[in-house]
Amino acid sequence: MSAGRVYFDGVDLSGADYGVTVTAASVSRAAPRDIAHQEIPYYPGGISRVVGPQQRQISVTAVQVGDTPADFRAKHDRLMWLLSQADTKPLIIDLDDRWPDRYWPVLLTSAPPPDAVRQHRVARFTLGFAVPGAYGYSTTLTERTVTLIASPTSFTQTVGGSAQASPVYEVENDAVETVTSVKIDNTTTGTAITWSGQLEQGNIIRIDTDAMLAEFSSDGGNTWSASMSNLSTGHEWPRFAARVDNTIEVTGVADGKIRLSYRDTYL
**Confidence at 117, pLDDT banded by 50, 70, 90:** low
- Residue 238: which H helix or E strand, with range? none
* CB neighbour list of residue 53: distance below 8 Å, 6 or more residues apart: 34, 36, 132, 133, 134
Q: For residue range 20-42, what is the model confidence (pLDDT) as tens digits? A: 999 999 999 876 554 444 444 44
State the pLDDT at residue 1. 46
How much is the mean pLDDT over the chain? 89
Q: Does the pLDDT at position 43 exceed 60?
A: no
Least confident of 3-7, 48-52, 101-105: 48-52
C-alpha distances out from residue 208 to 105, 189, 192, 213, Å:
18, 17, 13, 5
Contact 182, 252 (CB under 8 A): yes
Looking at residue 165, its pLDDT comes to: 97
The fold adopted by the segment(s) 142-266 is Jelly Rolls (2.60.120)
Decide which of 2 and 109 is more confident: 109
pLDDT at 267: 87
pLDDT higher than 80, residue 138:
yes
pLDDT in tens, 147-173: 999 999 999 999 999 999 999 999 999
DSSP string of 44-60? Answer: TS-EEEEEE---EEEEE
Can you give the residue ranges of every domain in the chain? 5-135, 142-266
Q: State percent of the chain over pLDDT 70.
A: 88
pLDDT digits (tens, 9 = 90+) for 217-236: 999 999 999 999 999 988 89
**46 has a pLDDT exceeding 80:** no
Q: What's phi and psi for 162, nearest 5 deg?
A: -135, 5
As a CATH number, domain 5-135 is: 2.40.30.200
In the predicted model, is pLDDT for residue 251 greater than 70?
A: yes
pLDDT at residue number 234? 84
For the chain, where are the alpha helices, taking DSSP H only?
A: 69-83
pLDDT of residue 35: 46
Q: Give the least confident one: 66-70, 176-180, 214-218.
A: 66-70
Mean pLDDT of 186-207: 97
Q: What is the largest CA-CA distance in the chain?
A: 73
DSSP 8-state code for residue 16: T
pLDDT at 116: 62
